[in-house]
Amino acid sequence: MKTKLMFCALSLIAGTLAVSAQAEARNYIPYKTTAVRLADQASVIVTGRLLRVDDVQLTGTGLDAGRWERKDDGKWQDGQAGIRRDAVIQVTDVLKGAVTAGSELSFVSMRQLKFDAYDADLRTGEALYFLAPRHEDGRNIVLMDERGTISGIESAGNLAFTTDYVRGYLGVPGKSAFLAKLLAAISLNATRVSVDSCIELSWNHEDYSLAITDQQKQQVVDLARASSVGSAERNELITAIGRYQPETGMDALFDIMLTDTNWSTTSLASMSMEYINRSMAISRLLQEWNTAQANQKLVIVRSLGLIRPKADFDGPEVRNQTLSLVGGLLVATTEKSLLREALIASRDLRSEDAHVAALKTLIDQRATNGLGDDEVKAAVIALAAARRVTKSHSGPDAVTVLEKTYLTALANADPVLKQVVEAAIKFPFTTLIAGADGRGH
């Protein structure tokens, strides 16, 4: 029952970037590249200072020049035929591997960058490097480019703490034995180690779920409550509450969600509430509605649309209550941000004909009801999502677009809406609607 929410959550996690604003690492999966996971993969882990980048003359184009052919003026990648660029670091400390402190250690330069193209935090200070030999020729590379480094800046000026953290992990017999230090490292200061620890705890939870105590579960709750609004740490800790399901988890998720209107918070909290108790989450959302303030109502509607109560799974009563609640907001007098969230929910609820009349009224009166383009387009998309599915035992289910004739006439009469109508009919549940945050959902 969590397919949509899981997709949203994974999208959020996949979009998480390295803490440093300059970091260029791309196309990595954060939960597979935390400091803990990098330590597992690396053959060599050292701290050191980047000294220079040497050009090594080759015959022919060379593996690296072909892979990282120069573009973007060499700021992103700078492969050059006949040359392999090797970066050199002065080793300060060795955490793993047969390397000597004080020696120089080379690796194939990230994307064949010259020294001046490296991020400032790597050019000007010490960093932790996670290295491994590549299979083509055994030469060292930094794992996942900049993602395989942790600089002093990413450590809030305390690289020694980061080094101790990684060394501490290397010294324990397994991940569950590292759990206490993992929790202790969550400082909520947006450093790489703090964020990585939250990611490790939430998305690699199978390694810790048997070892975590009730007291540590409550520590996760306390950290989530104390986390900053909109922070990566908050996102991960909300997810962790759903993974470990502490006794106070449901209350904490509601408190956090109703005081933080970020879409990511609502999405991840809704997923975690489902993990804890889907039925209880839906009932509580409906109960909270009557006493909720305006910004809280926005969150409740959004969450109900994400969880999507179903008659055949959750019961017709809560399904009908949800449809009625959302339907009552589909009027032009509803505050526009709340209206757009209601339109998103109407689309996602697979509401069949429950909202058709209200949606058509919004569209038909668009010239006089004061709605803007965002609201009108959202109403069109929600109306295109009004469908009836007839189950088939011998072939694909039959899907009927309830207002296809109306929508086709609308597209023919209004060139501005034509593209929206066509996209919504083809892709009703993935055509984006601008939410209260101004982004498409």
Report residue 122 as tokens.
């790597």
Q: What is the mean pLDDT of the chain?
A: 93
Average pLDDT over residues 191-216: 97
pLDDT, tens digit (0-9, with 9 covering 90-100), for 170-193: 999 999 999 999 999 999 999 999
pTM: 0.90
**By the 8 A CB rule, do 306 and 435 touch?**
no
Q: What percent of the chain has pLDDT over 90?
A: 89
What's the confidence (pLDDT) of residue 24?
65
Using the structure block, give the residue that is written with the tokens 């990611």. 199
**Residue range 408-418, pLDDT digits in tens:** 999 999 999 99
Q: Tell me, what's the pLDDT at 123?
A: 96
pLDDT band at 395 (very low <50, low <70, confident <90, very high): confident
How far, in Å, are 369, 376, 382, 401, 427 from residue 413 at the CA level?
Answer: 19, 15, 19, 19, 21
Average pLDDT value for residue range 92-114:
97
| DSSP result, 324-357 | HHHHTT-STTS-HHHHHHHHHHHHHTT-TTTTHH
pLDDT in the model for residue 390: 86
Q: What is the pLDDT of residue 16?
A: 40
CA 150/CA 375 separation, integer angstroms: 44
pLDDT for 7 = 39
